[in-house]
C-alpha cells in the first residue's frame, strides 16, 4: 500500500491509498473554494447521560446529485470533484459538511473505488484489503488527535438508509467521547468479569454462538453469526477468532482472510430477498475499543474489548422496511419480526455457488 497525503483547495486533508507503490499523486484541486465553516457543537443530555451533535451547517450538504455531478467521482476535464486526480484506488478526505469538527472530533469520507456504479460487494479481494488497510491507518492516525476518544468506521448503503450520495463510500467518525453503545457493552463486560471471576464476556458470547445454529459462515480466522437477540430482521456479527481491541490489533493472517469472508457476507445480503430485488440497503459498523480513559468501567481495560463488525439491513421482507416506531424509538426496546435462526438459515441458503 502506498499512502499520499495532500490538501484540497479549502485546506481539508485528502489521502490517496494505492495498490501500486509507484503511483504518483500530484493533481491539484483547482476549485475556487472558500475555507470550510462548521457549527458543530456537542451537547450532553443530562437525563440520559449521552451526547448529541448539533450541526446546522449540514442542512446545505450535497443531496442526491445526478451521476455526472457526483462529488466522489474523480475529476475529469472541466468537471471538478472532491478528488482532484482522474482516477484512484481508495481515497479518504475530511468531510466538507462534518457532524464533528475541531474540539468536537472529526469526520472523514472513505471512497472505496472510483467506479460510480460499483459497490463494496463488487470489489476484488485486493481492493477490499486496501480498504481494510485504510480503515486501520485512519484509526491509528485519528486516535492520536487530542480531542478523540473513539474511532468509528462505517458504511451506510442505500437510499432507504438515508444515503444522499450513491457513489460507493463509507465514513469515519472520530468522537470526543465514548459512544453510548460502546459504554453499554463495557458495563456488561465489567459486570460479567466480576460475576465470573475474570471471564471475558465477548469470548463467552462468541464461543456460545459458534456452537449454536446461527453461524452463517466461518473461516480459519473469522466467524460470522446472527446473534441470539438480533435487533434487526437480518443482522450478522463478524468477529476475528483471536480477540483484539481494534483494527490495529489484527495480525496478517486475519487481514489476509478478511476480504474473502466479508465480500461473501455482502454478496449474500444482496441475495436475501431474491435475485430480482433491488440491492439490499444496509449499515456496516466496526466496533472498536475507545482510546480514551475507561475509569467508569471498573476492572476493564482496552484489551477486554473485542473488535467486531455488525452488518444489518432495515428491510424486513421484499418491499417492506423495518421502521423504528413507538417501542424502538420511544423506549429503545426492539421488536424483531424475523427469528434469528430463520435469518441465519436464509443467509446460508444464499451462499455463493
Catalytic residue positions?
Answer: 169
- The rounded distance, in Å, linking the Cα atoms of 311 and 284 is 4
Question: In whole angstroms, what is the distance from residue 161 CA to residue 315 CA?
Answer: 10
3-state secondary structure string, the chain? CEEEEEECCCCCEEEEEECCCCCCCCCCCCCCCCCCCCCCEEEECCCCCCEEEECHHHHHCCCCCCHHHCCCCECECCECCCECCCCCCEEEEECCCCCCCHHHCEEEEEECCCCCCCCHHHCCHHHHHHHHHHHHHHHHHHHCCCCCCEEEEEEEECHHHCCCCCCCEEEEEEECCCCHHHHHHHHHHHHHHHHHCCCCHHHHHHHHHHCCCCEEEECCCEEEECCCCCCCCEEEEEEECCCCCCHHHCCHHHHHHHHHHHHHHHHHHCCCCCCCCCCCCEEEEEECCCCCCCCCCCCCCHHHCCCEEEEEECEEECCEECCCCHHHHHHCCCCCCCCHHHHHHHHHHCCCC
Amino acid at each position: 500500500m502506498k499512502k499520499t497525503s495532500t490538501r484540497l483547495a479549502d485546506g481539508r486533508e485528502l489521502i490517496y491509498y494505492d495498490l501500486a507503490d509507484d503511483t504518483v499523486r500530484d493533481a491539484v484541486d483547482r476549485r475556487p473554494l472558500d475555507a470550510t465553516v462548521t457549527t458543530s457543537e456537542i451537547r450532553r443530555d443530562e437525563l440520559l447521560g449521552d451526547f448529541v451533535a448539533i450541526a446546522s451547517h449540514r442542512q446545505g450538504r450535497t443531496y442526491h446529485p445526478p451521476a455526472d455531478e457526483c462529488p466522489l467521482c474523480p475529476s475529469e476535464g472541466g468537471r471538478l470533484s472532491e478528488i482532484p486526480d482522474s482516477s484512484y484506488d481508495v481515497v479518504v478526505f475530511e468531510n466538507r459538511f462534518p457532524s464533528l469538527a475541531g474540539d468536537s472530533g472529526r469526520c472523514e469520507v472513505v471512497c472505496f473505488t472510483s467506479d460510480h456504479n460499483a459497490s463494496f460487494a463488487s470489489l476484488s479481494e485486493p481492493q477490499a484489503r486496501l480498504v481494510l488497510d485504510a480503515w486501520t491507518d485512519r484509526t491509528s492516525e485519528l486516535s492520536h488527535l487530542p480531542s478523540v476518544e473513539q474511532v468509528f468506521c462505517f458504511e451506510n448503503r442505500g437510499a432507504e438508509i438515508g444515503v444522499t450520495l450513491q457513489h460507493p463510500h463509507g465514513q469515519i467518525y472520530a468522537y470526543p467521547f465514548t459512544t453510548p453503545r460502546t459504554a453499554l457493552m463495557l458495563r456488561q463486560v465489567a459486570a460479567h468479569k466480576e460475576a465470573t471471576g475474570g471471564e471475558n464476556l465477548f469470548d463467552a458470547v462468541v464461543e456460545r454462538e459458534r456452537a449454536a445454529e446461527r453461524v452463517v459462515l466461518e473461516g480459519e480466522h473469522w466467524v460470522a453469526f446472527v446473534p441470539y437477540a438480533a435487533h434487526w430482521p437480518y443482522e450478522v456479527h463478524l468477529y476475528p477468532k483471536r480477540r483484539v481491541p481494534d483494527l490495529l490489533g489484527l495480525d496478517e493472517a486475519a487481514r489476509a482472510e478478511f476480504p474473502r469472508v466479508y465480500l461473501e457476507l455482502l454478496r449474500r445480503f444482496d441475495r436475501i430477498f431474491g435475485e430480482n430485488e433491488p440491492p439490499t440497503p444496509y449499515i456496516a459498523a466496526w466496533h472498536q475499543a475507545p482510546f480514551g480513559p475507561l475509569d467508569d468501567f471498573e476492572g476493564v481495560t482496552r484489551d477486554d474489548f473485542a473488535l467486531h463488525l455488525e452488518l444489518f439491513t432495515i428491510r424486513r421482507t421484499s418491499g417492506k422496511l423495518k421502521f423504528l416506531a413507538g417501542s424502538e424509538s420511544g423506549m429503545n426496546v426492539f421488536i424483531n419480526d424475523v427469528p434469528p435462526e430463520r435469518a441465519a438459515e436464509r443467509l446460508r441458503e444464499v451462499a455463493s455457488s
